[in-house]
Amino acid sequence: VSADRAVPLKDLDEIAQRSLRNRILIMDELITPTQENIARRGREIEQNAQAIDDLWKAYMATYLTPEEKVLADKFAAVRANFVSEAVLPTQRAIKEGRMDEAQRLYEKLSKMSPEVIAAQNELIALQVTVAKEEFDAATARAATFRFWGMLILVAGVALCIFIGWFLAVNVRRPIEQAARVLQLAAQGRTGEQVDLHRNDEIGQLMQILA
Protein backbone atom coordinates (compact mmCIF):
# COMPACT_ATOMS: atom_id res chain seq x y z
CA VAL A 1 0.00 0.00 0.00
CA SER A 2 2.84 2.39 0.82
CA ALA A 3 5.17 1.65 -2.10
CA ASP A 4 2.61 0.97 -4.83
CA ARG A 5 -0.28 3.24 -3.78
CA ALA A 6 0.59 6.03 -1.32
CA VAL A 7 3.85 7.08 -3.00
CA PRO A 8 2.40 6.91 -6.54
CA LEU A 9 -0.63 8.89 -5.35
CA LYS A 10 1.75 11.61 -4.11
CA ASP A 11 3.68 11.52 -7.41
CA LEU A 12 0.49 11.76 -9.49
CA ASP A 13 -0.68 14.67 -7.37
CA GLU A 14 2.64 16.45 -7.90
CA ILE A 15 2.38 15.83 -11.64
CA ALA A 16 -1.08 17.44 -11.55
CA GLN A 17 0.21 20.42 -9.55
CA ARG A 18 3.21 21.00 -11.82
CA SER A 19 1.04 20.68 -14.95
CA LEU A 20 -1.35 23.28 -13.58
CA ARG A 21 1.59 25.48 -12.62
CA ASN A 22 2.89 25.35 -16.21
CA ARG A 23 -0.46 26.51 -17.55
CA ILE A 24 -0.39 29.44 -15.12
CA LEU A 25 3.18 30.28 -16.14
CA ILE A 26 2.26 30.29 -19.83
CA MET A 27 -0.70 32.53 -19.06
CA ASP A 28 1.62 34.86 -17.16
CA GLU A 29 3.96 34.99 -20.15
CA LEU A 30 1.04 36.06 -22.33
CA ILE A 31 -0.05 38.71 -19.85
CA THR A 32 3.47 40.05 -19.27
CA PRO A 33 5.43 39.30 -22.46
CA THR A 34 8.70 40.93 -21.44
CA GLN A 35 11.95 39.16 -22.28
CA GLU A 36 12.90 38.88 -18.63
CA ASN A 37 9.53 37.42 -17.60
CA ILE A 38 9.40 35.01 -20.54
CA ALA A 39 12.96 33.80 -19.78
CA ARG A 40 12.24 33.34 -16.05
CA ARG A 41 8.90 31.62 -16.60
CA GLY A 42 10.36 29.52 -19.42
CA ARG A 43 13.07 28.13 -17.15
CA GLU A 44 10.49 27.17 -14.54
CA ILE A 45 8.31 25.52 -17.19
CA GLU A 46 11.29 23.45 -18.37
CA GLN A 47 12.13 22.44 -14.80
CA ASN A 48 8.51 21.40 -14.18
CA ALA A 49 8.44 19.42 -17.43
CA GLN A 50 11.61 17.54 -16.43
CA ALA A 51 10.24 16.88 -12.95
CA ILE A 52 6.99 15.56 -14.45
CA ASP A 53 8.95 13.18 -16.70
CA ASP A 54 10.97 11.90 -13.71
CA LEU A 55 7.86 11.47 -11.57
CA TRP A 56 6.11 9.59 -14.36
CA LYS A 57 9.05 7.21 -14.80
CA ALA A 58 9.06 6.54 -11.05
CA TYR A 59 5.32 5.88 -11.15
CA MET A 60 5.59 3.48 -14.09
CA ALA A 61 8.28 1.54 -12.19
CA THR A 62 5.77 0.61 -9.46
CA TYR A 63 3.40 -2.35 -9.62
CA LEU A 64 0.46 -1.59 -11.93
CA THR A 65 -2.74 -3.59 -11.92
CA PRO A 66 -4.09 -4.53 -15.40
CA GLU A 67 -6.75 -1.81 -15.16
CA GLU A 68 -4.17 0.68 -13.95
CA LYS A 69 -1.85 -0.16 -16.87
CA VAL A 70 -4.67 0.67 -19.31
CA LEU A 71 -5.36 4.00 -17.58
CA ALA A 72 -1.64 4.81 -17.37
CA ASP A 73 -1.18 4.19 -21.12
CA LYS A 74 -4.23 6.33 -21.81
CA PHE A 75 -2.92 9.20 -19.68
CA ALA A 76 0.56 8.94 -21.24
CA ALA A 77 -0.92 9.14 -24.76
CA VAL A 78 -3.24 12.03 -23.91
CA ARG A 79 -0.49 13.96 -22.14
CA ALA A 80 2.04 13.38 -24.95
CA ASN A 81 -0.48 14.72 -27.48
CA PHE A 82 -1.28 17.67 -25.20
CA VAL A 83 2.39 18.58 -24.84
CA SER A 84 3.29 18.19 -28.51
CA GLU A 85 0.14 19.83 -29.92
CA ALA A 86 -0.46 22.61 -27.39
CA VAL A 87 2.17 23.24 -24.71
CA LEU A 88 5.32 23.20 -26.84
CA PRO A 89 3.85 25.16 -29.79
CA THR A 90 2.45 27.80 -27.42
CA GLN A 91 5.76 28.14 -25.59
CA ARG A 92 7.67 28.29 -28.89
CA ALA A 93 5.41 31.03 -30.25
CA ILE A 94 5.86 33.04 -27.04
CA LYS A 95 9.65 32.78 -27.18
CA GLU A 96 9.64 33.84 -30.84
CA GLY A 97 7.43 36.82 -30.11
CA ARG A 98 4.40 35.60 -32.08
CA MET A 99 1.99 36.61 -29.34
CA ASP A 100 -1.24 36.55 -31.42
CA GLU A 101 -0.51 32.99 -32.50
CA ALA A 102 0.51 32.09 -28.94
CA GLN A 103 -2.84 33.41 -27.73
CA ARG A 104 -4.71 31.20 -30.21
CA LEU A 105 -2.58 28.21 -29.24
CA TYR A 106 -3.27 28.86 -25.59
CA GLU A 107 -6.99 28.67 -26.31
CA LYS A 108 -6.34 25.27 -27.90
CA LEU A 109 -4.31 24.31 -24.82
CA SER A 110 -7.24 25.28 -22.58
CA LYS A 111 -9.66 23.16 -24.64
CA MET A 112 -7.36 20.13 -24.49
CA SER A 113 -6.65 20.41 -20.75
CA PRO A 114 -9.91 18.81 -19.48
CA GLU A 115 -9.12 15.54 -21.28
CA VAL A 116 -5.68 15.40 -19.66
CA ILE A 117 -7.11 16.25 -16.23
CA ALA A 118 -9.84 13.60 -16.60
CA ALA A 119 -7.29 10.88 -17.50
CA GLN A 120 -5.11 12.01 -14.62
CA ASN A 121 -8.01 11.96 -12.13
CA GLU A 122 -8.92 8.42 -13.21
CA LEU A 123 -5.43 7.27 -12.23
CA ILE A 124 -5.57 9.11 -8.92
CA ALA A 125 -9.00 7.67 -8.08
CA LEU A 126 -7.76 4.18 -8.93
CA GLN A 127 -4.92 4.48 -6.40
CA VAL A 128 -7.46 5.08 -3.63
CA THR A 129 -9.68 2.21 -4.79
CA VAL A 130 -6.84 -0.32 -5.10
CA ALA A 131 -5.33 0.81 -1.78
CA LYS A 132 -8.66 0.06 -0.08
CA GLU A 133 -8.87 -3.33 -1.79
CA GLU A 134 -5.33 -4.20 -0.67
CA PHE A 135 -6.08 -3.00 2.86
CA ASP A 136 -9.24 -5.15 3.00
CA ALA A 137 -7.30 -8.15 1.68
CA ALA A 138 -4.56 -7.59 4.28
CA THR A 139 -7.21 -7.33 7.01
CA ALA A 140 -8.73 -10.64 5.87
CA ARG A 141 -5.29 -12.29 5.85
CA ALA A 142 -4.61 -10.97 9.34
CA ALA A 143 -7.91 -12.45 10.57
CA THR A 144 -6.95 -15.80 9.00
CA PHE A 145 -3.51 -15.68 10.62
CA ARG A 146 -5.09 -14.90 13.99
CA PHE A 147 -7.49 -17.84 13.61
CA TRP A 148 -4.73 -20.29 12.74
CA GLY A 149 -2.49 -18.80 15.42
CA MET A 150 -5.14 -19.38 18.08
CA LEU A 151 -5.81 -22.85 16.72
CA ILE A 152 -2.11 -23.74 16.85
CA LEU A 153 -1.87 -22.28 20.35
CA VAL A 154 -4.81 -24.36 21.57
CA ALA A 155 -3.39 -27.44 19.85
CA GLY A 156 -0.01 -26.75 21.47
CA VAL A 157 -1.56 -26.46 24.93
CA ALA A 158 -3.54 -29.65 24.35
CA LEU A 159 -0.38 -31.42 23.20
CA CYS A 160 1.49 -30.26 26.31
CA ILE A 161 -1.34 -31.53 28.52
CA PHE A 162 -1.31 -34.86 26.70
CA ILE A 163 2.46 -35.18 26.98
CA GLY A 164 2.23 -34.37 30.71
CA TRP A 165 -0.49 -36.98 31.18
CA PHE A 166 1.47 -39.52 29.13
CA LEU A 167 4.63 -38.98 31.16
CA ALA A 168 2.69 -39.20 34.41
CA VAL A 169 1.00 -42.46 33.47
CA ASN A 170 3.80 -44.17 31.60
CA VAL A 171 6.95 -42.88 33.30
CA ARG A 172 6.43 -41.20 36.68
CA ARG A 173 4.02 -43.73 38.20
CA PRO A 174 6.06 -46.83 37.21
CA ILE A 175 9.22 -45.17 38.57
CA GLU A 176 7.41 -44.37 41.82
CA GLN A 177 6.26 -48.01 41.99
CA ALA A 178 9.82 -49.22 41.40
CA ALA A 179 11.10 -46.92 44.15
CA ARG A 180 8.44 -48.26 46.54
CA VAL A 181 9.38 -51.88 45.71
CA LEU A 182 13.04 -51.08 46.40
CA GLN A 183 12.18 -49.41 49.71
CA LEU A 184 10.10 -52.44 50.79
CA ALA A 185 12.81 -54.83 49.65
CA ALA A 186 15.35 -52.86 51.70
CA GLN A 187 13.08 -53.55 54.69
CA GLY A 188 12.94 -57.25 53.88
CA ARG A 189 9.41 -57.13 52.51
CA THR A 190 9.45 -58.80 49.11
CA GLY A 191 5.79 -59.58 48.63
CA GLU A 192 4.90 -56.42 46.78
CA GLN A 193 3.09 -57.06 43.49
CA VAL A 194 5.05 -55.77 40.49
CA ASP A 195 3.47 -54.82 37.13
CA LEU A 196 5.11 -57.06 34.52
CA HIS A 197 2.90 -56.19 31.55
CA ARG A 198 5.24 -53.61 30.04
CA ASN A 199 8.15 -54.60 27.84
CA ASP A 200 9.92 -51.24 27.45
CA GLU A 201 12.90 -50.02 29.50
CA ILE A 202 10.78 -49.39 32.59
CA GLY A 203 9.08 -52.77 32.09
CA GLN A 204 12.51 -54.45 32.02
CA LEU A 205 13.39 -52.70 35.27
CA MET A 206 10.19 -53.99 36.88
CA GLN A 207 10.95 -57.51 35.68
CA ILE A 208 14.41 -57.34 37.23
CA LEU A 209 12.89 -56.10 40.48
CA ALA A 210 10.37 -58.96 40.40
**Cβ atoms < 10 Å from Cβ of 190:** 10
Residue 196 has a pLDDT of 72
Q: Does position 100 have pLDDT exceeding 80, yes or no?
A: yes
d(CA 10, CA 6): 6
Q: Does position 206 have pLDDT exceeding 80, yes or no?
A: no
- For residue 25, give the nearest of 54, 52, 48, 56 by alpha carbon: 48
pLDDT in tens, 113-158: 999 999 999 999 998 888 888 888 888 999 999 999 999 999 999 9
Residue 186 has a pLDDT of 81
pLDDT in tens, 35-94: 999 999 999 999 999 999 999 999 999 889 999 999 999 999 999 999 999 999 999 999
Q: Does position 20 have pLDDT exceeding 90, yes or no?
A: yes
pTM of the model: 0.66
